Structure 1
Amino acid sequence: MRHNFRNWPVLVVLALFSLPLVIMFTFQLIDSFTVKAPGALLPESFTLHHFRFMWERLDTGRAGIWQVTLNTFIFATTTATVVTLVSLTAGYALSRLNLPARGFFLAGLIVLHAFPTVTLIIAIFLILQMLGLYDTLIGVIIVKTALELPFGIWIMKGFYDTVPWEIEMAGVQDGASRFRVWWQLVLPQVQPGMMAILIFSFLSGWSEFVLPLVIAPGSNAQVLATYMQALIQDDTKADFDLFKAVGLFYALPVVVIYLVFQNKLMNIYGGGSKG
């Protein structure tokens, strides 16, 4: 009881800071399903008209909502998969192998991660044009993956560093190959880090806005973030209730991911255990 009482001030402060966000999301949910008179606070009636984007193609200059959603899913899933796979292997190599210029490579990862995306846009634009990947979804995926990799590799290297060498030595002495030792003995020890990289890379890809807007402006490579931007591009006739409904549709997968993986997200730690 005394421990719970000591936590009350912290809970009250957190509740006060969270209250504006709770109010904002509550009004978004209400406004997405109701009709209100201009300037009114309380809704007048229930409606699904704001969700017409699900069965009608809106005049936004973008593809339909389902094509855009598919693009977003492909973009986020491919980015998360490639980042996770490369981070798992590269992190292990940097942690366990005596590579030439290993320290220089690790320092380079930090430098690359420190560069904001916006500062690299012009160089990325020129490179994609030379490769013929400008205004394509695959071009955006390659760029996003490259920008996410330094952080993923560095995080996985830290997880591998906490795995005791004795686990690998025991597997090698029993006659297992280096790959089998990594796959069956080491990889289970860094599973929390793998899940962290996979989930956060997916969420980063799902919420990406700048890269698809700048390097894939055509309608065939647009994602949900740019679809929402097109809804309010002309603010003189913007339908903000429609915008809120699309935002609710956009946020739904993120909410589902949190509900499914909340235990793993709350128990992410770096560490291996002996035995």
Structure 2
Amino acid sequence: MKSLRKTPYFIAYIVLGITTLPILLMYIWLILNSFSTRMKYGFIPDHFTLENWSFLWSPIKQGGTVLPSIWTATWNSFFFSGMLTLFEVVIGLMAGYALARLNFPGRQKIMKVTLLLHAFPSVALLIAVFYILNFLGLYDTLWGVILVKTALQVPMTAWIVKGFFDEVPWDVEWAGLIDGCSRLKVWYQIVLPLVKPGIAAVTIFSFLSGWSEFLLLYSFIVSDDNVTLSAYLQKLISDPNMINYGLLSAVSLFYMLPIIVMFITTQKSLLQVSAGGGKRV
């Protein structure tokens, strides 16, 4: 009987193992290739070397050009992701609270079109965004792309945060208002601490979205001083005849390290997020 009860678990583990095995093999190959001069038969490392990681202390020379410093790209990536996270979370929290608690004209229509705005492909807006950024003098600046990315992400963030605010009882806010607190003070000191898991979730997802952004950065950033790691990788594969796969593997691992560290340190916060948030319309 016990073996029959465990059968579904064995089947689940087998299915999960089969589906994740190709992904694990790709990561293993990436690690081995980054520390090898070449790979025999495509997957057996030939000779251990740190030459592929020399980009950490010296510039990369590709053909007749010298790529910008990897540390410049790393700083730009952290700056872009950090500022995007700050703007998106702050604006999303205020917008989500307004949608959850305030009755204003057009509130229901805004909630109905929120998901539609988020689903609109950003590639269709590239030409319009280019003219706007160029007119404002923000073309080829990280601030310009930060503002564009924030505008595209805020609708979904506000919708998600609204679900967490809906779970906070009205009685908690009324108690604060009766005690003499202003609406802003109630929101900041009473309501926000009750939705910390939701704030942690949208913060993590916002940072990951900024760190992995490529299309907008590649389209509106042209100078090496503003390059990010995602666009840096594109420079390494811009010429198919000159791709150094060992170097590409090392830079890719370097690009992944902050996300791996972030996942390890924040997984407890993600596990505390409630799967179902009430959507009170």
* TM tier relative to shorter chain: over 0.9
For residue 66 of structure 1, what is the aligned residue in structure 2? 71
Which residue pairs with 2:183 in the alignment?
A: 178
Q: Which residue identity is paired with 2:90? A: L
Alignment of 1:84-123 (within 5 A): 84-123=89-128
CA shift digits 1:23-72 (9 cap, x unpaired): 01001111111223564542232211001111111135642100010000
Give aligned-pair identity as a percent.
Answer: 43
Matched ranges for 1:146-225 at <5 A:
146-225=151-230
What's the counterpart of residue 11 of structure 1?
13
Structure 1: state its 5+ residue gaps: none
- DSSP 3-state at the match of 1:163: coil
Once residues 117 and 248 of structure 1 are traced to their aligned partners in structure 2, the CA distance between those partners, rounded to angstroms, is: 27
1:238 CA displacement = 0.8
Query: Matched residue pairs, number?
Result: 272
Deviating 4+ runs (over 6 angstroms): none
1:152-177, Cα deviation, whole Å (9 max, x unpaired): 01111111111111111122222222
Q: Is the 8 A contact 2:88 2:153 kept in 1?
A: yes
1: distance between equivalents of 2:18 and 2:139? 46
Instruction: Give a deviation string over 1:210-256, Cα, whole Å, max 9, x none.
Output: 11110112212211011011101111111011000000000000000
- Please report how far the alpha carbon of residue 106 of structure 1 lies from its aligned counterpart in structure 2 after TM superposition: 1.8
- Superposed displacement of residue 6, structure 1: 2.7
- Contact 2:140–2:223 at 8 Å: present in 1 too? yes
Provide the C-alpha distance between the structure 2 equivalents of 1:8 and 1:263, rounded to a whole number of angstroms.
26
Which residue does the alignment assign to 1:53?
55
Equivalent pair of 2:40/2:46 in contact (CA under 8 Å): no
Match status 1:256 vs 2:261:
yes
- Whether contact under 8 Å (1:190, 1:271) holds in the other structure is no
TM-score by length of 2: 0.92
Distance 1:51 1:12 in 2: 36
Letter paired with 2:216: L
**1:216–1:222 CA contact under 8 A, matched in 2:** yes
Distance in 1 of aligned mates of 2:97 and 2:190: 13
Q: Rate the CA distance shift 1:38–1:14 in 2: closer, same or farther, 3 A.
A: closer
Match for residue 22 of structure 2 among 20, 24, 31: 20
Q: Structure 2 CA distance, aligned partners of 1:167 and 1:58?
A: 58
Q: Structure 1 CA distance, aligned partners of 2:271 and 2:142?
A: 33
Displacement, 1:5? 4.2
TM-score of the superposed pair, with normalisation by structure 1: 0.93
> Cα–Cα, structure 1 residues 4 and 184, in superposed 2: closer, same or farther, change >3 Å?
farther
Q: Of residues 235, 238, 242 in structure 2, which corresponds to 1:233?
A: 238
Flag the 1:40–1:211 CA change in 2: closer, same or farther, 3 A: closer
Q: CA RMSD in A?
A: 1.7
Look up the match of 1:33: 35
Task: Report if the CA contact (8 A) 2:33-2:39 is conserved.
Answer: no
Distance 1:3 1:120 in 2: 53
Contact 1:212 1:221 in 2 (8 A): no
In 1, Cα distance between the equivalents of 2:5 and 2:224? 56
Q: CA–CA distance in 1 between the matches of 2:6 and 2:127?
A: 53
Select which of 128, 132, 139 maps to 1:134. 139
Q: Which amino acid aligns with 2:168?
A: V
- Give the 3-state SS of the residue equivalent to 1:228 in structure 2: helix
